[in-house]
Amino acid sequence: MVVEKILASLEKSNCVTDNTFLQAVSEVLTSLEPIVKTDSRYEQFAILERLVTPDRIIQFKVQWLDDNNQVHINNGYRIQFNNSLGPYKGGLRFHPSVSTGVLKFLAFEQIFKNSLTGLPIGGAKGGSDFDPKGKSDYEIMRFCRAFMRELYPYIGARVDVPAGDIGVGAKEIGYLFGEYKRITHNYDGVLSGKPYAFGGSLMRPQATGYGVVYFAREMLAQELQESLEGKICTVSGAGNVAIHTIEKLQQLGALVVTCSDSEGSIYDPRGIDLSLVRELKEEGRHLSLEKYVERIPGSLYTKKSDYPQNGHAVWQVPCFAAFPCATQNELSFLDAQKLVENGCVSVVEGANMPTTPDAIELLQREGVLFSPGKASNAGGVAVSEFEMSQNASMEKWDFDKVDRKLDELMRQIYKRIALTAKEYGVERNFVDGANIAAFKRVAEAMILEGV
Ligand code: GLU
């Protein structure tokens, strides 16, 4: 009842273009339905209503010059959603699809993800509709500098610490950090995901993907007494998260047979050649995956226009475990049907909300282990927090230390959400487990700090 009322009022106050935000809120509130009545303070302090309303939405104009001295203007944003658990924390996305609606969804999800890490970080997200594809290095540098000129008054090591996301990697964070330093003369851990040369943490680039696999390994071991060794896995995406998910899966002896970009998908039955994918995609190279099949005989490229209707080529491939690591809503109901039909036992999200609500429902109904991104992809932001820690204490941790801490943290997240699901009578429903466990921590903090 309370939940329905909040959703209805949100639908009225948000525009239709905010549908991903409404989708994310609806999923979380539905999970929370059984617990909102268990503690009268939630209603008394209007916790749910406050939780679905961002603290502030900052929007600014970013003007920059291309290599021909032509002026361009993009929208820049930072959405600071909730800082009850710690400084606002979350990535910056540079992609033409970026809008307040998309960022509200991502910032909202980030509150819960960050809460699940058990670390002191609040939820935020930002970015721009700037498209890095096809831009020269100098153009990207000028854009990042212009972006930071607008953003810098709103961030700080104890205020709000942005990081990367789609379209923003160590290179962009380096340019953003350089500009912040030039403006403020302050060498502070105000961004995470920095290059190692000036304050970045070892393993931050690998963290999200490796964390996804550590989570999957633990979930499969605990729930099914299974390992990933020798298993066929499918991965979508070819960006930072996908590449490091594939890398760790391969290290654990899995056979990864797919990857994809926004234009098409690769199927390589002998196992994805990761060094070739890196050659095509890393460091801002946006070369087509079509080039992969020219080099690897026996592999197959499917253009997006040839995908099944309402489906994705990657999810048509039989697998033991599927890892959607590209973007939101990329695994549909029909894809889920296909995965079930092909005997897939688990779907572990690497991207943020890549599976549609009806697909999740089907997977869960059919007994496929499903992990939401806010749990399984939390390794990235967790290592960002490790970076904040290292910056604050002027320390540098070695690779093994970060790796061990990440593995331990991902196992803890699995444990926390599995136990919570059990406690609330929804065993193996990791969506509810994650939402409830994350909510309880944030709600308690909100109550304790007063209105
Ligand atoms: N963009 C990443 C995420 O979705 C990382 C955020 C961060 O490191 O602050 O969690």
Could you tell which of 190, 208, 328 is best to mutate to test the pocket of ligand 1, judged by most ligand atoms within 8 Å of the CB? 208
Residue 17 scores a pLDDT above 70? no
Residue indicated by tokens 């923003």: 168
In the chain the domains, ranked by start, together with CATH numbers, are 1-51 (no CATH), 54-189 (3.40.50.10860), 206-376 (3.40.50.720)
Residue 15 scores a pLDDT above 80? no
Going from the Cα of 380 to the center of ligand 1, the distance in angstroms, rounded, reads 6
**The two structure tokens encoding residue 55:** 């603290």
Distance (Å, whole) CA 202 – CA 249: 20
Distance (Å, whole) CA 331 – CA 355: 5
Q: Which of 69, 88, 105 is nearest to 156 (CA)?
A: 88
Active site residue 125: yes
CA 86 to each of CA 58, 142, 388: distance values in angstroms, whole numbers, following the listed order: 19, 31, 12
pLDDT, tens digit, for every residue of 73-91?
999 999 999 999 999 999 9
Could you tell which of 85, 110, 117, 159 is best to mutate to test the pocket of ligand 1, judged by most ligand atoms within 8 Å of the CB? 110
Confidence category of residue 37, pLDDT binned at 50, 70, 90: confident
HSE of 267, CA atoms in CB hemisphere, 13 A: 15
Confidence category of residue 2, pLDDT binned at 50, 70, 90: confident
Could you tell which of 161, 166, 384, 391 is best to mutate to test the pocket of ligand 1, judged by most ligand atoms within 8 Å of the CB? 384
Ordered DSSP codes for 22-59: HHHHHHHHHHHHHHHTT-HHHHHTTHHHHHTS-SEEEE
Residue 12 scores a pLDDT above 80? no
Going from the Cα of 209 to the center of ligand 1, the distance in angstroms, rounded, reads 12
CA 448 to each of CA 117, 191, 337, 442: distance values in angstroms, whole numbers, following the listed order: 20, 28, 45, 10
Give residue 48's pLDDT.
96
Residue 14 scores a pLDDT above 80? no
Residue 16 scores a pLDDT above 80? no
User: What residue owns the CA closest to ligand 1's atom 10?
Assistant: 381
Residue indicated by tokens 């946006």: 286
User: What residue owns the CA closest to ligand 1's atom 9?
Assistant: 90
pLDDT, tens digit, for every residue of 194-222?
999 999 999 999 999 999 999 999 999 99
The single residue of 89, 125, 135, 231 carrying the catalytic annotation is: 125
Give residue 229's pLDDT.
98
Q: Which atom of ligand 1 is nearest to the CA of 384?
A: 8
Chain CA centroid to CA 211, Å: 11
Confidence category of residue 34, pLDDT binned at 50, 70, 90: confident
Q: What is the mean pLDDT of residues 162-168?
A: 96
The sign of the torsion formed by the CA atoms of 230, 236, 238, 242 equals negative
Q: What is the mean pLDDT of residues 114-118?
A: 98
Task: Spell out the residues 6+ positions from residue 420 whose beta carbon is closer than 8 angstroms to its own.
Answer: 432, 433, 434, 436, 437
pLDDT, tens digit, for every residue of 341-396?
999 999 999 999 999 999 999 999 999 999 999 999 999 999 999 999 999 999 99
Going from the Cα of 173 to the center of ligand 1, the distance in angstroms, rounded, reads 13
Q: Output the ligand 1 site: residues, CB below 6 A.
A: 89-91, 113, 163, 165, 192, 352, 380-381, 384
User: What residue owns the CA closest to ligand 1's atom 8?
Assistant: 381
Going from the Cα of 90 to the center of ligand 1, the distance in angstroms, rounded, reads 5
Going from the Cα of 338 to the center of ligand 1, the distance in angstroms, rounded, reads 30
Q: pTM for the complete prediction? A: 0.96
Going from the Cα of 3 to the center of ligand 1, the distance in angstroms, rounded, reads 28
pLDDT, tens digit, for every residue of 228-241?
999 999 999 999 99
Confidence category of residue 13, pLDDT binned at 50, 70, 90: confident
pLDDT, tens digit, for every residue of 391-440?
999 999 999 999 999 999 999 999 999 999 999 999 999 999 999 999 99
pLDDT, tens digit, for every residue of 300-329?
999 999 999 999 999 999 999 999 999 999
Phi-psi region of 284 (alpha: psi -120 to 50; beta: other; left: phi over 0): left
Mean pLDDT of the chain: 96
